[in-house]
Amino acid sequence: MLEAELANEEVVGMPALSIFAKHLYGDTDVAARLSHTEPFTVDAEGDALLLSVQLPFTDQSDVQLGRTGDELVLTVGPHRRALMLPDSLVRRDVAGARFVDDRLVVEFV
């Protein structure tokens, strides 16, 4: 996890961004992959397909899940995202959802 100090003013322009990047990345290669965790996965479990979404630092009580057509609507606290479902999930129904470690696992049947 990278941390940046709160700036006293908006970071605008290449010189300011360069200074911000130097403080943020330090000696870390800015082009390096910093995480090897897949944010989304779809896995088969019997006849069901499981969509797994990484949600670190999230409590189950903060999550709301909905569906609109071929989108899964995920709300975490004040943040809402509509995730386009892959073709393999569009014609399936949501059977349930649960947390496994820091991942939300949604079952489609």
For residue range 47-106, list pLDDT tens digits in order. Answer: 999 999 999 889 889 999 999 999 999 999 999 999 999 999 999 999 999 999 999 999
Name the residue among 69, 106, 64 with its Cα closest to residue 90.
Answer: 69
d(Cα 44, Cα 50) in Å, to the nearest integer? 6
Domain ranges of the chain: 40-108
> Does residue 8 surpass a pLDDT of 90?
no
Judged by DSSP in three states, 18 sits in helix
> Does residue 35 surpass a pLDDT of 90?
no
d(Cα 73, Cα 80) in Å, to the nearest integer? 7
CATH no. for 40-108: 2.60.40.790
d(Cα 52, Cα 101) in Å, to the nearest integer? 11
Query: Which pTM was predicted?
Result: 0.71
Which residues have C-beta within 8 Å of that of residue 64, sequence separation ≥ 6? 74, 75
